[in-house]
Amino acid sequence: MLTVAKVYEYLDKEMNFSSQAAWDNSGLLVGSPDRQVSKIAVMLDAMPLNITKAINNGVDLIVCHHPIIFDPIAKLPADHPVYRLARNDIALIAVHTPWDMAKDGVNYVLANALSLERISILQTEEGGNMLKMGTLPSPMSEAAFCSLIKQKIGVPFVKYVSTKENIRTVAVCGGAGADFIDEVARKADAFVTSDIKYHQFLHAQDIGLTLIDAGHFTTEDMSMNTISVKLAMEFAEAKVLRLKSVDPISYR
């Protein structure tokens, strides 16, 4: 009999929930560890539309990236995501920063998608082993590399600060990674991340780092395919659904 606890234990072996950042809230956030599981839904965000899909598909457990609970909840109206999950007896496990740091997690998937070779951990003081870095098969102009990013991860455009003619070594951090700019600049020509502020672009230009904002959603979402495949292979007795989230940002 498959239970939420068994799925949690497997995910813990794959990504180590105790490694999560101090500010994070990953783990089993909704439901009982003893809940029987026959259908699992995997998604980046437990947004209302995906919760509706999970309910309609008879899902027992959601595995998502971003925690559905970060701050204290003052009240639970009937349309609140946590209320809806609890009412429909759907458990939820969030894998946020443990999956960011996993050897084959968010940042490995992103580095691999960008055709980087010799992928390794880029150790940082604040982020530990979260970041990955690698080398391009051959030096590439900034414009060509930006075109490659758009093609590989499906983002309509990227924002970047130009600092050099060609790049070879690249660091990546899916989601918001601009806090690591200074440490990355000492080891890589370019840094692909997201949620970059104006003054951070200016700082990157000052220190000679090609800084590229490729979108929060697009730098993380593809990694959930890996989790979906892992769960399907590990738990043949359960049906695994990959429910795609929708980038909340529109592009024109």
Say how many Å lie between the first and final Cα of the chain, rounded: 49
Per-residue pLDDT of the chain in tens (252 residues, 90 and over written 9): 999 999 999 999 999 999 999 999 999 999 999 999 999 999 999 999 999 999 999 999 999 999 999 988 999 999 999 999 999 999 999 999 999 999 999 999 999 999 999 999 998 877 778 899 999 999 999 999 999 999 999 999 999 999 999 999 999 999 999 999 999 999 999 999 999 999 999 999 999 999 999 999 999 999 999 999 999 999 999 999 999 888 888 877
Same-fold call for 4-99 versus 103-220: yes
Give this prediction's pTM.
0.95
Alpha carbon distance 141, 84 (integer Å): 49
Alpha carbon distance 167, 135 (integer Å): 9
Domain covering 4-99 assigned CATH 2.60.40.10 in the classification: no
Are 40 and 60 in contact, with CB atoms under 8 Å apart? yes
Alpha carbon distance 35, 48 (integer Å): 22
Class of domain 103-220: alpha beta
Which two structure tokens, joined as six digits, stand for 219?
């730098």
Residues 6+ positions from 168 with CB-CB distance below 8 Å: 135, 136, 138, 139, 140, 189
Q: Which DSSP category does 4 fall into?
A: H
Structural domain boundaries in the chain = 4-99, 103-220
Are 182 and 163 in contact, with CB atoms under 8 Å apart? no
Closest C-alpha to 104, from 200, 198, 229, 217? 229
